[in-house]
A and B are shown apart, each in its own frame.
Chain A
Amino acid sequence: MSAETDIAVLGAGPAGGAAALAAAAGGARVVLIDEQAHPGGQVWRKKDVDLPGLAETPETCAGARLRGDLEASGATFLGGTRLWHIERVEGGWRLHLLTRGDRAETLTARAAILAPGAREFVQPFAGWTTPGVYGLAGATALMKSQGCPPGRRSVVAGGGPLALFAAAEILRLGGEVAAVATPNGRGDWLRCAPILAANPALARRGAELIARIRRAGVPILWRHVVTRAEGDRALIRVHAAPCGAEWAPTGAARAFDADALCVGHGLIPNVDVAVLAGLPRVYDADRGGWVVEAGPDGRTALEGLFLCGDGAALRGAETAARAGAGTGQAALADLRGTPAPPPAPRRPDLRARFGRAMTALARPRPGLLRLTRPNTVVCRCESLTRATLDAAIDAGAAGLDALKSATRCGMGPCGGRYCLTAAARLIEDRTGAAEGTVPPPVPRPPLFPLPVAAVAAGFDYDDLPIPAPAPL
């Protein structure tokens, strides 16, 4: 089946939701696509389980508001739908979708707004493949949608505010927290004091989270990283050691009995769709690593293609929503041929500064590489250890495409989402190259594993416009 519309928006989080609302308010036909069943994105996620008595939070309220506004807006929401390819066509963009029930469909739009958000980075460490070890951001997603804590007794580890949020959320849902281990020092947070003071509402929320953790008697281990997860079919123990300013472990580890570990080392903007569409990547650690350039109104170098939210630069939900609204208006103006709305007045954007400071707290530091030992599995899908990858690097694999063909790293079902960032850093480390010089491989369609049913429904892999492979 194929359909067409004025504006297609990918991602129904704060950014894409606001973009769809702005464009629909101007009368454009808008289709909003998300693989989740409901709008809300990562942060304003809807509860899937009906648990009477569970109090609302600022995030659930913001999500309910967004879902209500979208309902009333005239924009069409395609939930449970994955975009697995995008290509330029005469007069617009064609989006290849896998809808609920696994049907392959296409949607042609005069303009496409990409708001795919971010995904999580976890530095491989000993035992991270043990069942019971979860991504930190993923664990927040679990708690928000399913209303259950990740285990009976959890260790929470990571930088920035997300670790504090996750720990407080576990307690709220009736779980126990054995410890919070954060690579940030108290001084890192103190340096954010002026920015926190300028954002009293957000700062108060953070203080409440810390108070809840302290009241429960949970130890907060500043400047600590998790070095090892222990267990066979299930996690039984977590080891956390002190670390230096660059996050390399420096001393003896303490052990905590736990059946869940929520661990994360920052977020990565989802740039794959923008790159498939033809935009180049640049490295900017401040924006989140490999990113694609987009203006403040979401415009990119390609006509009719817009990008906003955490998928463009990690700045948090509030900034994503504001950028989304501006991007929706810009796309609408281009469609109409009317002048774009005047740029927002240049006053200091406190929310953006806050988002930037929080991103900086969580940005993975180079010392994390020490967590990945020679026998640590790096590529989960193919169970490849660091030693295997190092051997291939020593034998000449100086880029990720070469490493992939030499070892199959990143070629399993996850498509390399959970290993290639770490693998790039391993190559940089081993070859003495600077951070951000080994680019991720060029993404190829399909971005998600396509089920046979979709192929049987008239889709043929041979029809795929496969771009020429990048030179090794």
Chain B
Amino acid sequence: MSRTADTPAPVRITFDGRDYDARPGESLAAALLRAGVPATTQRHAPGPARGAFCWMGWCQECRVRHRGRWVEACRLTVYDGLTAEARRAADVR
């Protein structure tokens, strides 16, 4: 989608060491989904990949590490400079 005059400028976020553009107001999980990253567990780790499932903060599948804590990516609103780490496969049994 091309940006029009009234589309707010994107914010820059970093997930699992990679940079993405996000829309102000959206959740980290939605930003990653739009970027084609449905999995919120680590990229090259062995074991099951998981990602957002319920989109309402209940299933806990979208948890990522943010400022030293596990948070639900579907409830974390993006901001410029947001950095979050993926869950390791070992965190998914």
Chain A positions within 8 Å of B, measured between CB atoms, are: 35, 42, 48-52, 119-120, 129-135, 138-139, 141-142, 145-146, 148, 150-151, 232-235, 259-260, 380-383, 412-414, 417-418, 449, 451-453
Binary contact track B48-85/A, C-beta < 8 Å → 1, others 0: 11111111111111010000011000100100000000
Most buried by A among B8, B48, B59: B59
Binary contact track B19-49/A, C-beta < 8 Å → 1, others 0: 0000111110010011010111001000011
A383 with B48: in contact, given A52-B4, A449-B60 (CB under 8 Å)? yes
Residues of chain B within 8 A of A42, CB atoms compared: 56
Q: List 19 A-B contacts (CB under 8 A).
A: A35-B57, A48-B25, A49-B26, A50-B24, A52-B6, A52-B7, A120-B54, A129-B48, A130-B49, A134-B52, A135-B53, A138-B56, A142-B30, A151-B33, A412-B93, A413-B60, A414-B58, A451-B70, A453-B69
User: What separation, in Å, do the CA atoms of A132 and B92 have in the docked complex?
Assistant: 17
Is there contact, CB below 8 Å, between A49 and B23? yes
Closest residue of chain A to B7, judged by CB?
A: A52
Is there contact, CB below 8 Å, between A142 and B55? yes
State the Cβ distance, A389 to closest chain B Cβ, in Å.
Answer: 15
Residues of chain B within 8 A of A120, CB atoms compared: 54
Is there contact, CB below 8 Å, between B48 and A132? no
The one of B4, B55, B59, B93 in contact with A414, judged by C-beta atoms closer than 8 angstroms, is B59
Given contacts A259-B36, A412-B93, 13 further A-B contacts (CB under 8 A): A50-B24, A131-B50, A141-B55, A142-B33, A142-B55, A148-B26, A234-B38, A234-B39, A381-B93, A382-B93, A417-B58, A451-B69, A453-B69
User: What separation, in Å, do the CA atoms of A220 and B85 have in the docked complex?
Assistant: 40
The one of A146, A383, A418, A449 in contact with B30, judged by C-beta atoms closer than 8 angstroms, is A146
Residues of chain A within 8 A of B53, CB atoms compared: 129, 133-135, 138, 380, 418
Residues of chain A within 8 A of B70, CB atoms compared: 449, 451
User: What separation, in Å, do the CA atoms of A133 and B60 have in the docked complex?
Assistant: 14
User: What separation, in Å, do the CA atoms of A457 and B51 have in the docked complex?
Assistant: 31
Residues of chain A within 8 A of B51, CB atoms compared: 131-132
Chain B positions within 8 Å of A, measured between CB atoms, are: 4, 6-8, 23-27, 30, 33-34, 36, 38-40, 43, 48-61, 63, 69-70, 74, 77, 92-93
Residues of chain B within 8 A of A132, CB atoms compared: 38, 51
User: What separation, in Å, do the CA atoms of A307 and B73 have in the docked complex?
Assistant: 31
State the Cβ distance, A60 to closest chain B Cβ, in Å.
Answer: 15
User: What separation, in Å, do the CA atoms of A133 and B50 have in the docked complex?
Assistant: 10
User: What separation, in Å, do the CA atoms of A49 and B26 have in the docked complex?
Assistant: 6
Is there contact, CB below 8 Å, between A135 and B93? no
User: What separation, in Å, do the CA atoms of A232 and B6 have in the docked complex?
Assistant: 38
Is there contact, CB below 8 Å, between A48 and B55? no
Is there contact, CB below 8 Å, between A418 and B38? no
Residues of chain B within 8 A of A260, CB atoms compared: 38
Residues of chain B within 8 A of A452, CB atoms compared: 69
Residues of chain B within 8 A of A382, CB atoms compared: 93
Residues of chain A within 8 A of B23, CB atoms compared: 49, 51
User: What separation, in Å, do the CA atoms of A254 and B77 have in the docked complex?
Assistant: 38
Is there contact, CB below 8 Å, between A135 and B54? yes
Residues of chain A within 8 A of B33, CB atoms compared: 142, 148, 150-151
The list of the 7 closest CB pairs from A to B, nearest first, reads A131-B51, A138-B55, A131-B38, A131-B39, A413-B60, A146-B30, A142-B55
Is there contact, CB below 8 Å, between A129 and B50? yes
Residues of chain A within 8 A of B92, CB atoms compared: 383
State the Cβ distance, B11 to closest chain A Cβ, in Å.
Answer: 12
User: What separation, in Å, do the CA atoms of A142 and B32 have in the docked complex?
Assistant: 13
State the Cβ distance, A182 to closest chain B Cβ, in Å.
Answer: 21
State the Cβ distance, B38 to closest chain A Cβ, in Å.
Answer: 4
User: What separation, in Å, do the CA atoms of A139 and B38 have in the docked complex?
Assistant: 13
User: What separation, in Å, do the CA atoms of A260 and B39 have in the docked complex?
Assistant: 12
Most buried by A among B4, B55, B61, B69: B55
Residues of chain A within 8 A of B8, CB atoms compared: 50
Is there contact, CB below 8 Å, between A48 and B58? no
Closest residue of chain B to A270, judged by CB?
A: B58
Closest residue of chain B to A382, judged by CB?
A: B93
Most buried by A among B4, B24, B34, B51: B51
Residues of chain A within 8 A of B39, CB atoms compared: 131, 233-234
Residues of chain B within 8 A of A380, CB atoms compared: 50, 53, 59, 61
User: What separation, in Å, do the CA atoms of A35 and B56 have in the docked complex?
Assistant: 10
State the Cβ distance, A257 to closest chain B Cβ, in Å.
Answer: 15
User: What separation, in Å, do the CA atoms of A145 and B23 have in the docked complex?
Assistant: 12
Closest residue of chain A to B49, judged by CB?
A: A233
User: What separation, in Å, do the CA atoms of A151 and B19 have in the docked complex?
Assistant: 20
Residues of chain A within 8 A of B36, CB atoms compared: 234, 259
Is there contact, CB below 8 Å, between B25 and A49? yes
Residues of chain A within 8 A of B69, CB atoms compared: 451-453
Residues of chain B within 8 A of A259, CB atoms compared: 36, 38
State the Cβ distance, A81 to closest chain B Cβ, in Å.
Answer: 12
Residues of chain A within 8 A of B50, CB atoms compared: 129, 131, 380
User: What separation, in Å, do the CA atoms of A418 and B55 have in the docked complex?
Assistant: 13
